[in-house]
Amino acid sequence: MSRILLTHSPDTLANYYGERALAGLKALGDVVLNPDENPLEGDALIRAAADCDLIVSYRQSPSPAAVFERLPKLAAFLRCAIDIRNVDVAAASKSGVLVTQASAGFVTSVTELVVGFMIDLSRRVTPHASSYHSKKIPQAVMGRELRGSTLGVIGYGAIGRELVRVARALGMRVLINDPYVKDIEQTPIDELLAQSDFVVPLAVATAETENLMGEKEFQQMKRGAFFINVSRGNLVDEAALLRALDSGRIAGCAIDVGRAPDQLPTPALAARHDVIATPHTAGLTLPAIEHQSLETVAQAAEILKGRAPKGAVNAEHWTRKALLGT
């Protein structure tokens, strides 16, 4: 029987994998669970994966070259997330190990949170609720309707397209900037920033997009506009964001991600009165989580049959499939 290691810690197993997916994985082989309170990594990951054919990995389990070099029986490494930046795919390919990633199942979930953030920021829901929680009566402040407001979307992938669809349905004017997409009307980034009431970067985190929103970009934003980041902390120069908030250039921001560990918002930034922060939960809904976890089950089923599944990133280098069933 095949052995499959699931690296999720007990605390993350329910929220980030789920009972249905775990049952599906157990139907495929002998599942080795992580008993530690933290996701497995380093030597602990290698020890736990000894004699395992597959690793199904939580996003916080880095997989450097040693994982593939020191686990000679390992045939495949399945990431239960899209982000594989902490997986040494080149080393996996050199060792003949297949690497897979999950597809985006959180488009609806993230889009809905962005809409919630826009309403919260423009109607001061969180500050008013916080005042009442502190037994203080907040001062009523004029709000802003989404209808007729301008949304600037930087990055037009799956989430960007859905957000644009919903925003237009709400009567918002939408400006889009993505140099890699050709089938839309583009707005130059400086014009988008200057005209938008809400700016939402949804670009992929790469070396090119590091600090995509920096000093110049925040200074180009429309005075009194709001900034929302649900993508990656890497896109934002947080020192520049702080200066834009301190100066009153922007009226506030909402963040689900940041530069703290596991892409969490930076605590000092999240603590500000003009910031709404959530702990990287934009994609934390049952349909979103099950989309990715059940996908790893389907991938594992294909791999155990000797077939490269949808989501494989280095199928041409997969030589260890010959080990399956031996």
pLDDT of residue 266: 96
Q: How many Å apart are CA 296 and CA 40, to the nearest integer?
A: 18
Averaged pLDDT of the chain? 95
> Average of pLDDT values for 207-213?
94
In this structure, the answer to whether residues 265 and 311 fall within a common structural domain is: no
The pLDDT of residue 181 is above 70: yes
Strands 54-57 and 275-277: unpaired
Residue type, 318: W
pLDDT value at 313 more than 80: yes
Whether residue 136 sits in one domain with residue 14: no
Residues 75 and 175 both lie in one domain: no
Quick one: pLDDT at residue 14? 87
List the Cα angle 41/43/48 in 5-degree steps: 75
CATH number at residue 117: 3.40.50.720
In 3D, which of 186, 253, 187, 185 has the Cα closest to residue 218? 253
Instruction: Please tell me whether residues 292 and 270 are part of one structural domain.
Output: no
Instruction: Give the pLDDT confidence of 138-180 residue by residue, as tens digits.
Output: 999 999 999 999 999 999 999 999 999 999 999 999 999 999 9
Dihedral pair phi/psi, residue 111, rounded to 5°: -60, -45
Q: Dump pLDDT digits (tens) for 61-109.
A: 999 999 999 999 999 999 999 989 999 999 999 999 999 999 989 999 9
- Give the domain range for residue 42: 3-105+285-323
Encode burial over 141-157: b for 16+ CB neighbours within 10 A, e otherwise. eeebebeebbbbbbbbb
Whether residue 80 sits in one domain with residue 169: no
Alpha carbon separation from 210 to 176, 201, 220 (Å, rounded): 19, 12, 18
* CB contact at 8 A, 32 and 5: yes
Same domain? 167 vs 211: yes
Check whether 288 has a pLDDT greater than 60. yes
Instruction: Judge whether residue 325 has pLDDT over 90.
Output: no
Q: Are strands 250-255 and 275-277 parallel, antiparallel or unpaired?
A: parallel
Q: What is the dihedral of CA 1, 52, 304, 294, to 10 degrees?
A: 110
Assess contact for 200 and 153: CB atoms under 8 A.
Answer: yes
- Residues 6 or more apart whose Cβ sits within 8 Å of residue 136: none
Residue 60: pLDDT band with limits 50, 70, 90: confident
Same domain, 143 and 273: yes
| Cα–Cα distance for residue pair 322/148, rounded to 1 Å | 60
The two three-digit tokens of residue 80, written as one number: 């239960």
The residue behind tokens 């050199």 is 94
Answer positive or negative: Cα dihedral of 96, 311, 202, 231: negative
32/18 same-domain check: yes
Residues 264 and 282 sit within 8 Å (Cβ to Cβ): no
What is the mean pLDDT of the segment spanning 288-299? 96
Return the higher-pLDDT residue of 195 and 204: 195
Interval 253-267: pLDDT, tens: 999 999 998 899 999
Among 277, 294, 314, the domain-final residue is 277
Residue 1: pLDDT band (50, 70, 90) is confident
Question: How many domains in the chain?
Answer: 2
The upper half-sphere exposure of residue 152, i.e. CA atoms within 13 Å in the direction of its Cβ, equals 26
pLDDT at 326: 55
Are 175 and 256 members of one domain? yes
Helices (H), 83-157: 89-95, 107-123, 125-133
In angstroms, the CA 133 to CA 260 distance is 27
Q: How many CB atoms lie within 10 A of CB 262?
A: 12
Same domain, 292 and 307: yes
Are 83 and 114 in a shared domain? no
Distance CA 92, CA 113 (A): 36
Same domain, 90 and 125: no
- Single-letter amino acid code for the residue at 225: A
pTM of the model: 0.88
Residue 218 pLDDT > 70: yes
